[in-house]
Amino acid sequence: MKFSLVKKLLLVIIILTQLTNLVFSQEKIDNSEKNVEALLSKISEYEYGLNRTPLADLSLIVKQKLNGEKSDYDLETKLLDVLKTNASFDGKQFLCRQLSLIGTEKSIEQLIAMLKDCKTSDMARYALEKIKSNNVDIALIDILDNVEPEIKIGIINSLGNRKSEIAVDKLGKLVLDNNSDVAASAASALGKIGSSHSAEVLSQLLNKTKNIIHDVLIDSYLLCADKFLLDENNKAAEEIYSNVLANENSSVQKIAALNGSVLASPNNKSSIILKYLQSDDPQLNQAAAQEVRKLSTENEFEKIITNFNSFNDKTKIQVIYSIKELQNPYFHNLVLANAERGSDDVRIAAIDCLEKLATVDDVQFLANLALGNNSEIDNAARLTLDKISGKEIDKKIINLIVTSPPEIQVELIRSIGERKTQSAFPNIVQTAKSTNQKVRLESYKTLELISDPNQLDKLLIVFLDIENPAELKRMENTLAKVSLKNENENERAEKFLETFDKTNDFEKQMSLLRILGSTGDSRALKHIKASLKNENEDVQKTAIQSLYNWPNIEPIYDLLDIVKTNKNSTLQILALRGFINLVKANGQNENAPVVDLYKTAMEYSKSDNEKIMIISGIGDVQTLEALNFTSPYLNNNSLRPEAEIACINIISKVGWTNPEESLQVIETILKNPTSSEIQKEASRIKNNILSK
């Protein structure tokens, strides 16, 4: 089998090779002198939009020449001959692009002549820039004083792009030109050249310029320094960076110089960073704080730690966040000290930083801090306590729960929940039996977060021991949420049904009955349906209420039966509300006769509140039938506001497919809208429908 695969791969390679050779053989163009002249004749008349085949063919001939293919004529001369004629602009532009690939000193004279003409200047410069000869630079420099400013600027840019060392002195003089555009271009070109000589000229010019030109000079000066840095000439780079930092330059330029200075002085970077952390310039403070992330040795760290108190608060905060990025434990004591005392803003930053630097010994400190009387500090401590990672931290929190006073226990238990520390389950089960109510309540909340369905037995033991009604309700919520973690809904009710049969405590039975209503388990539904027929009215009420959140529509007709036949008005109202809830929850269920169910609910509704619930629910149904049911209630003053909202919601979905019916309802709303918002939205939808 392996051999067969190898043979297939070899066959594929052979085929691909043949195809490649075929493509290259097809690309090869006749490069005879006769064919080239024919192509050039067509290119001389070429204008944008015409057939590009001659251009493509000549491009391939140029590539063949670059690949070493010989010919008995000089292709470069052929191209230059066409440039000397009255060839079209687009044709000349194409030929200049080809000369940028194969041009030599032969092309200089013709291209310089074209350079002097504004119409052909740019295309000529494009070709000249690529020709490797000092004679190009000489020719460009020679004509600088004899051309219009626009062309002069182009030549200056080309000299910069060519990194022409011999042009530096001339460019230096042009920086002082009366034409600001020429001056700025010359200053920029010196930066592109980036040589020692251009840096020297830039340095001499700094005191002779101002405003925009001065800014361009500084940018170019920094470019020179950056080039020195790349060339590992750190001393020259640092000299420039220091010069920029020491003088009145923009904050952006100084920040760039600071970044470069740190890179150029690896053995002195901590001193440089410290200097600007203590500066009076807020932006340099911030930039220096960012540079703290580049420190790597304990000696460098120590300089920051020793001088930390000399920084202003904003700088302290920025340094702390850089320390957080470093995540180096050497800073631990500094961060801890600032978390304990200082301004609130600095303390909050330090507390946040402890997320990366805290040790097990800091857990107690953070728990204590969370109990303070400063809400911002408290919240910061809680967040950090919740985010510190590591099993050792988990163990420390668990151990502290046992030995801490109740107020600390509450904070630690809360954190166990946020951290989802499942290993703490036995410990939280124990704290759920605490003599302190706050500890118990926090334990119930945390058990909801860390428990899994396999632990329901132990949770139910806790549940059965609860006597306080409020606590029972909280634990009821925990049990319901934990059961829902079981993906198989028909396994969710078993433990609750067993416990229901074992206990004689009525309140706990009712609590279990409510829990069963959230499970979706078929056995739970059977039990609830039986409870609907119980002689005890309280049991019936609880059973009805337990179905309010049933996950599907199955029990809806049981509720409807109560609405229709039960003589107890309280039970009727409860059942109707449950019926409406289930219809609303299944509003998008294509298999449910939702509108018919809403009609039935409306038939038995006695109060406006119930009718408003129905209208609100049907507003989510995206059918014409739902619109036809809802729109008549626009004529009922008590129900109109809710009916307007419902109709607009429905029309926003079905208006495009049912424009006539929708527009009729919109017009009814616009005749007497109950609010400006309704009027605005109805008008918008009307305009959208009409525009379609």
pLDDT tens track for 198-219: 999 999 998 887 778 999 999 9
For the ranges 8-12, 85-89, 592-596, the one whose mean pLDDT is highest: 85-89
Give the separation between CA 174 and CA 209, rounded to whole angstroms: 12
Task: Note whether 374 and 344 are within 8 A (CB).
Answer: yes
- Which residue type, as a one-letter code, is found at position 521? D
The closest of 276, 278, 238 to 255, measured between CA atoms, is 276
Q: Is 416 domain-assigned? A: no
b (16+ CB within 10 A) / e for 546-571: bbbebeebebbebbbebbeebeeeeb
DSSP state of 207: G
Please indicate, yes or no, whether residues 181 and 80 belong to a single structural domain of this protein.
no
Q: Is 545 domain-assigned? A: yes
DSSP state of 104: -
Predicted local confidence at residue 26, as pLDDT: 46
Please indicate, yes or no, whether residues 102 and 174 belong to a single structural domain of this protein.
no
Taking only the tens place, the pLDDT of each residue in 636-687 is 999 999 999 999 999 998 988 999 999 999 999 999 999 999 999 999 999 9
Q: Which of the four pLDDT bands, split at 50, 70 and 90, describes residue 22?
A: very low
Q: Is 421 domain-assigned? A: no
Q: How many CA atoms lie within 13 A of 213 on its CB side?
A: 22
Looking at every residue in the chain, the average pLDDT score rounds to: 92
- How much is the average pLDDT of 5-20? 55
State both tokens at 262. 């740190």
Task: Note whether 226 and 251 are within 8 A (CB).
Answer: no
Q: Is 668 domain-assigned? A: no
Give the separation between CA 98 and CA 406, rounded to whole angstroms: 84
pLDDT at 381 over 70: yes
Task: Note whether 195 and 217 are within 8 A (CB).
Answer: no
Predicted local confidence at residue 691, as pLDDT: 86
Task: Note whether 440 and 473 are within 8 A (CB).
Answer: no
Predicted local confidence at residue 15, as pLDDT: 57
Predicted local confidence at residue 71, as pLDDT: 84
Task: Note whether 469 and 507 are within 8 A (CB).
Answer: yes
pLDDT at 154 over 80: yes
What does the DSSP assignment read for 107-152?
A: GHHHHHHHHTSTTTHHHHHHHHHH---HHHHHHHHHHGGGS-HHHH
Domain extent at residue 527: 480-550
Sequence-separated (6 or more) residues with CB below 8 Å from residue 292: 273, 277, 304, 319, 322, 323, 326
Predicted local confidence at residue 5, as pLDDT: 57
Predicted local confidence at residue 493, as pLDDT: 96
Sequence-separated (6 or more) residues with CB below 8 Å from residue 668: 631, 634
**CA-to-CA separations, 239 to 96, 221, 222, 225, 268, in angstroms, rounded:** 42, 11, 11, 8, 14
Q: Which of the four pLDDT bands, split at 50, 70 and 90, describes residue 69?
A: confident
State both tokens at 381. 């401590």
pLDDT at 234 over 70: yes
3-state secondary structure of 389: coil
Q: H or E element: which one contains 567?
A: none
Please indicate, yes or no, whether residues 103 and 161 belong to a single structural domain of this protein.
no
3-state secondary structure of 421: coil
Please indicate, yes or no, whether residues 108 and 188 belong to a single structural domain of this protein.
no
Predicted local confidence at residue 343, as pLDDT: 96
Give the separation between CA 614 and CA 620, rounded to whole angstroms: 11
Q: Is 493 domain-assigned? A: yes
**CA-to-CA separations, 648 to 297, 587, 601, 637, in angstroms, rounded:** 66, 17, 22, 17
Taking only the tens place, the pLDDT of each residue in 397-453 is 999 999 999 999 999 999 999 999 999 999 999 999 999 999 999 999 999 999 999
Task: Note whether 559 and 586 are within 8 A (CB).
Answer: no
Please state the three-class secondary structure of 207-245 as a single string. Answer: HHCCHHHHHHHHHHHHHHHHHHHHCCCHHHHHHHHHHHH
Give the separation between CA 574 and CA 310, rounded to whole angstroms: 69
Predicted local confidence at residue 27, as pLDDT: 59
State both tokens at 1. 């089998």
Please state the three-class secondary structure of 142-193 as a single string. Answer: HHHHHCCHHHHHHHHHHHHHCCCHHHHHHHHHHCCCCCHHHHHHHHHHHHHH
Q: Which of the four pLDDT bands, split at 50, 70 and 90, describes residue 57?
A: very high
Please tell me the least confidently modeled range out of 19-28, 57-66, 200-209, 642-651.
19-28
Give the separation between CA 571 and CA 578, rounded to whole angstroms: 10
Give just the sign of the alpha carbon dihedral 522, 528, 532, 534: positive
Please indicate, yes or no, whether residues 124 and 152 belong to a single structural domain of this protein.
no
Mark residue 284 as left, alpha or beta (left: phi above 0; alpha: psi -120 to 50; beta: remaining).
alpha
Task: Note whether 411 and 371 are within 8 A (CB).
Answer: yes
3-state secondary structure of 472: helix
Predicted local confidence at residue 585, as pLDDT: 85
- Which residue type, as a one-letter code, is found at position 187? A
pLDDT at 296 over 60: yes
pLDDT at 149 over 70: yes
Domain count, the chain: 3
Please indicate, yes or no, whether residues 36 and 123 belong to a single structural domain of this protein.
yes
Give the separation between CA 611 and CA 606, rounded to whole angstroms: 8
- How much is the average pLDDT of 464-475? 96
Last residue of a domain, one of 224, 243, 265: 265
CATH of the domain at 508: 1.25.10
Please indicate, yes or no, whether residues 88 and 170 belong to a single structural domain of this protein.
no
Task: Note whether 568 and 537 are within 8 A (CB).
Answer: yes
Please indicate, yes or no, whether residues 48 and 101 belong to a single structural domain of this protein.
yes
pLDDT at 486 over 90: yes
Please indicate, yes or no, whether residues 103 and 62 belong to a single structural domain of this protein.
yes
Predicted local confidence at residue 584, as pLDDT: 87
- The distance between the two most distant Cα atoms of the chain, rounded to a whole number of Å, is 114
Please indicate, yes or no, whether residues 152 and 187 belong to a single structural domain of this protein.
yes
- How much is the average pLDDT of 59-67? 92
CATH of the domain at 198: 1.25.10.10
Please indicate, yes or no, whether residues 113 and 177 belong to a single structural domain of this protein.
no
Rg of the chain over all Cα atoms, to the nearest angstrom:
41
The closest of 434, 391, 392, 384 to 409, measured between CA atoms, is 434
**CA-to-CA separations, 391 to 40, 384, 387, in angstroms, rounded:** 78, 15, 12
The closest of 115, 114, 200 to 159, measured between CA atoms, is 115
Last residue of a domain, one of 550, 580, 596: 550
Sequence-separated (6 or more) residues with CB below 8 Å from residue 410: 438, 439, 442
b (16+ CB within 10 A) / e for 51-65: eeebbebbbebbbbb
Last residue of a domain, one of 265, 286, 303: 265
Task: Note whether 643 and 631 are within 8 A (CB).
Answer: yes
Q: Is 331 domain-assigned? A: no
What does the DSSP assignment read for 29-58?
A: ----HHHHHHHHHHHTT--TTS--HHHHHH
Q: Which of the four pLDDT bands, split at 50, 70 and 90, describes residue 2?
A: very low
DSSP state of 486: S
The closest of 311, 312, 261 to 291, measured between CA atoms, is 261
Q: Is 667 domain-assigned? A: no
Please indicate, yes or no, whether residues 151 and 116 belong to a single structural domain of this protein.
no
Q: Is 113 domain-assigned? A: yes
- How much is the average pLDDT of 615-626? 91
b (16+ CB within 10 A) / e for 238-267: bebbbbbbeeebeeebbbbbbbbbbbbbee
Percent of the chain with pLDDT over 70: 96
